[in-house]
Structure 1
Amino acid sequence: MVEPVDLFWKCGLANPHTTHCLGNGQIMISCMGDPGGNGKGGFVLLDGETFEVVGNWEHPGEAAPFGYDFWYQPRHNVMISTEWGAPKALANGFNPDHVKEGLYGSSLHIWDWTSHRKLQTLDLGEDGAIPLELRFLHDPDATEGYVGCALKGSVFRFYKTPKGDWAAEKVISVPSKKVEGWVLPEMPSLITDILISLDDRYIYFSNWLHGDIRQYDITDRRNPRLVGQVFLGGSIVSDGPIRVLEDPEPQPPPRFLQGRRVPGGPQMLQLSLDGRRLYVTTSLFSGWDKQFYPDMTQQGSVMMQVDVDSEVGGLSLNQDFLVDFGKEPDGPALAHELRYPGGDCTSDIWL
């Protein structure tokens, strides 16, 4: 157990998020803020055997304005981190005014893996607001990857340039939908998780508000091609209070699985190592769950399995698989992250 007070006194950090194991045996955890709820993107090192807090990974004064996810590539002496927002802003739900007030991020931060120094900041602009999950290609020689940006439903490709610095370009855009009966006149898809298959052929991401998972062929790295899509709940289901305007696509019907209505929308993803089974949970963050899917906080979230056509592309819900966290002994639970004990597509980094 790592106590919050240890993070504060030893590192000046709070709100831990992403964990990666390092080649030297230590554990590294990104943090999203300081103990006062302000944004602060720093990194904590733990002893890999005792789990005691060793200290900060970054040098004093070099924390990013916001923190969230990170990925490192030792062969290229680089680490890249992302931004969500100030914990005091996002804790109780999403307020669009907080974006205007600068309480949410829109940048990627490039770090020197050896010296722990911040080298570069890539501002992704309005289309890159709230960049969450970041994935390098699995090939350890690759110098590129993708990041999902929640607020505008964008996916950016980041890459190393011939000059040796880093750049980013938008390669996928999921348009917001004009709606009635919602808090805003336009609803973003809200890309919340993203992953790449182990063979680096497909990218998958979840649109938590629109309710679909998408599969893109990324053989052409700069021009992803949509090859699979499946709707699993979401906010625009046809029997709900929200009506979509000026959209040629019909609103999807609600999704039922083994007699259980799927609560919330598809959120965290995990792909089997053979690329044929995609697992998904529906809870994002309790404050946001309560705001956008209050029924899920009362009923609990679920985990589903999506069958993947890994040859030509295609997604379909497996009707025989359901983990219902609403039936947990201590009351309905909001399940979030998924991990395989022997390694998986979203946490393994090859040296």
Structure 2
Amino acid sequence: MMRPDPTFHASPKLAIEAAPENIAYTLLLSPDFSKPDALAVIDVKPGSPTFSQVVHLVTMPNKGDEFHHFGWNACSSVLSPLSGHAFLERRYLIIPGIRSSRIYVVDTKPDPTKAQICKIIEPEEIFKKTGYSRPHTVHCGPDGIYVSTLGGSGPDGTDGPPGIFIMDCETFEVLGRWEIDRGPQTLHYDFWWNLPRDYMVTSEWALPPQFENGLVPEDLLSNKYGHRVHFWDLRARRNIQTIDLGANHQMALEVRPAHDPVREYGFLGVVVDTTNLEGSIWTWWRDGGRFHIEKTATIPAEPAAKDQLPPPLQGFGAVPPLVSDIDLSLDDRFLYVACWGTGEMRQYDVTEPRKPKLAGSVRIGGIARRTPHPNGKVFAGGPQMVEISRDGRRVYWTNSLYSTWDDQFYPAGVPGAEVMAHAGPNGGLELATDYWVTFPDGYRAHQIRLEGGDCSTDSFCYPSA
């Protein structure tokens, strides 16, 4: 008798109660393109003789992909009443090269320590079928694999707007672009949804010429990066509302809806306010059929001496927090905010979603502070991509943002590192002294995925009882 994958859970509460992760998957990139990018398989089982070590490396056959974000072929969204795919497995990792526009499909079964590439989708197929380039975020939906992009067509990705395309979740064939009516949307970054409520939220970063060779300071100071958030009718695939945060709120990046579909709100991280260099968290909600959004938390820039600062910041005499990732625990209680510039991981209690309260903080790395790990090792860069265990007790993060941006803000280099902090049941964060992942020389580390799902992978179709 066929049964759904046991790692699929109808509600967030059931996922929280599931067995803990034993494996973490982390993307590695070669910043100078001197060798192929790779997928690291890491042992995260406490007490294991290889705990916090890379136990397998899937090395790609090409150079210059620039791995960034990735996701599963299927997740708990498959349990949707509207799904025609009840017997898929959470088995394949869909890994886009943000620079090459190539996508790798890696099979993690039957043994993740022997994971291997099973399909490569060349960029020409994506260009031909979608008109998009620079694939970025991957989410598994009830009806296929959704992939957001940062570029349109043409050599520099500026011929037409970027958007989302769909892949078949069994054959991995690229089907076509998702949008029927995009309205005013012209930039793209992240996306996620509330499946039963039938809406999607998308955000904005920049067009490829504004990020591929590094941050363009004059574009930032003239507020030419993304600063809007878009709301979509998921079934009709059309833009129903766009809200401008204000042009000074530059780079509206990660969107994190509440996991329990009864809760019609979510969070957005904004990298920098060009009037004062602060980072911010915004809360959106739906009321009376309309979406609303407001700034609910700010993180100030920190003064620093000129000789502590890289060239792009020397004129400011301060380090902006540079909020580069946020993640929400499965119980919707704690929001984690990665401040890549100041070297801080913040934990907010968001029990009241429009009144976040700072509940914990860990300092590590940072442009000026350069705080070492408790084990004494140097953590270059700052907290960047963050992932939370399903039970909310372990918080993992890496330290690289994007190759050219790393070089601008951390010119001494950002050797790959991954750490983990223990989170208290009622808040509080403490770095685990025994968790430090050493990656092969020459690699930087970006996004993390956890075996069996995590807090930025799964979308749930049923409320928690």
Hey, what's the Cα distance between the residues in 2 that align with 1:261 and 1:230? 15
Whether 2:408 is the aligned partner of 1:324: answer no
Whether 2:232 is the aligned partner of 1:107: answer no
Hey, what's the Cα distance between the residues in 2 that align with 1:310 and 1:285? 33
Deviation at 1:254, TM superposition (A): 2.5
- Residues 1:303 and 1:63: Cα distance change in structure 2 (over 3 Å): farther
For 1:1-16, list aligned pairs within 5 A.
1-16=120-135
Instruction: Determine if contact 2:319/2:367 at 8 Å carries over to the other structure.
Output: no
Q: Deviations over 1:224-263 (max 9, x none)?
A: 11110110111121xxxxxxxxxxxxxxx62145453111
Deviation at 1:103, TM superposition (A): 3.9
Whether 2:450 is the aligned partner of 1:335: answer no
Q: Which runs of 5+ in 1 are unaligned?
A: 238-252
Q: Deviations over 1:169-194 (max 9, x none)?
A: 00000012333313231432110111
Instruction: Determine if contact 1:93/1:291 at 8 Å carries over to the other structure.
Output: yes
Letter in 1 for 2:255: L
Instruction: Determine if contact 2:397/2:418 at 8 Å carries over to the other structure.
Output: yes
Q: Identify the residue that residue 213 of structure 2 maps to in structure 1.
A: 92
Q: Identify the residue that residue 323 of structure 2 maps to in structure 1.
A: 191
Instruction: Determine if contact 2:182/2:238 at 8 Å carries over to the other structure.
Output: no
- Residues 1:29 and 1:117: Cα distance change in structure 2 (over 3 Å): same
Hey, what's the Cα distance between the residues in 2 that align with 1:104 and 1:126? 8
Hey, what's the Cα distance between the residues in 2 that align with 1:293 and 1:105? 23
Deviation at 1:15, TM superposition (A): 0.8
| Deviation larger for 8-17 or 256-265 | 256-265
Hey, what's the Cα distance between the residues in 1 that align with 2:247 and 2:302? 17
* Residue from 35, 44, 49 that aligns with 2:170: 49
Deviation at 1:5, TM superposition (A): 1.4
Deviation at 1:27, TM superposition (A): 0.5
Deviation at 1:273, TM superposition (A): 1.1
More RCO (CA 8 Å, sep 6+): 2
Q: Identify the residue that residue 143 of structure 1 maps to in structure 2.
A: 264
Whether 2:303 is the aligned partner of 1:178: answer yes
Whether 2:152 is the aligned partner of 1:31: answer no
Hey, what's the Cα distance between the residues in 2 that align with 1:231 and 1:258? 13
Deviation at 1:89, TM superposition (A): 1.1
Whether 2:238 is the aligned partner of 1:121: answer no
For 1:66-85, list aligned pairs within 5 A.
66-85=187-206
Instruction: Determine if contact 2:223/2:247 at 8 Å carries over to the other structure.
Output: no
Letter in 2 for 1:341: E
Hey, what's the Cα distance between the residues in 2 that align with 1:212 and 1:64? 32
Q: Identify the residue that residue 39 of structure 2 maps to in structure 1.
A: none
Normalising by structure 1, we get a TM-score of 0.89
Letter in 2 for 1:288: W
Normalising by structure 2, we get a TM-score of 0.68
For 1:157-306, list aligned pairs within 5 A.
157-162=283-288, 164-181=289-306, 182=309, 183=313, 184-185=315-316, 186-237=318-369, 254-256=371-373, 258-297=375-414, 300-306=415-421
Deviation at 1:310, TM superposition (A): 2.0
> What SS does structure 2 have at the residue aligned with 1:59?
coil
- Residues 1:200 and 1:176: Cα distance change in structure 2 (over 3 Å): same
Hey, what's the Cα distance between the residues in 2 that align with 1:230 and 1:53? 41
* Residue from 416, 422, 425 that aligns with 1:310: 425
Letter in 2 for 1:5: E
Q: Percent identity?
A: 37
Instruction: Determine if contact 1:127/1:149 at 8 Å carries over to the other structure.
Output: no
Instruction: Determine if contact 1:264/1:301 at 8 Å carries over to the other structure.
Output: no
Whether 2:459 is the aligned partner of 1:344: answer no
> What SS does structure 2 have at the residue aligned with 1:219?
coil
Hey, what's the Cα distance between the residues in 2 that align with 1:161 and 1:37? 37
Q: Identify the residue that residue 240 of structure 1 maps to in structure 2.
A: none
Hey, what's the Cα distance between the residues in 2 that align with 1:101 and 1:58? 29
Q: Deviations over 1:44-90 (max 9, x none)?
A: 11111121110000026658211111001122111000111111111
Letter in 2 for 1:342: G
* RMSD of equivalent CA atoms: 1.7
Hey, what's the Cα distance between the residues in 1 that align with 2:248 and 2:270? 8
Letter in 2 for 1:32: L
Hey, what's the Cα distance between the residues in 2 that align with 1:322 and 1:306? 11
Deviation at 1:30, TM superposition (A): 0.4
Hey, what's the Cα distance between the residues in 2 that align with 1:60 and 1:6? 23
> What SS does structure 1 have at the residue aligned with 2:282?
strand
Hey, what's the Cα distance between the residues in 2 that align with 1:61 and 1:161? 22
Deviation at 1:22, TM superposition (A): 1.3
> What SS does structure 1 have at the residue aligned with 2:412?
helix
Hey, what's the Cα distance between the residues in 1 that align with 2:161 and 2:222? 16
Hey, what's the Cα distance between the residues in 2 that align with 1:268 and 1:29? 18
Q: Deviations over 1:298-320 (max 9, x none)?
A: xx210001111122x11111111
> What SS does structure 2 have at the residue aligned with 1:337?
strand
Hey, what's the Cα distance between the residues in 1 that align with 2:222 and 2:458? 36
> What SS does structure 2 have at the residue aligned with 1:339?
strand
Hey, what's the Cα distance between the residues in 1 that align with 2:182 and 2:258? 30
Deviation at 1:296, TM superposition (A): 2.9
Instruction: Determine if contact 2:130/2:177 at 8 Å carries over to the other structure.
Output: yes
Q: Deviations over 1:246-291 (max 9, x none)?
A: xxxxxxx621454531111000001111111100100111111111
Instruction: Determine if contact 2:325/2:385 at 8 Å carries over to the other structure.
Output: yes
Instruction: Determine if contact 1:151/1:190 at 8 Å carries over to the other structure.
Output: yes
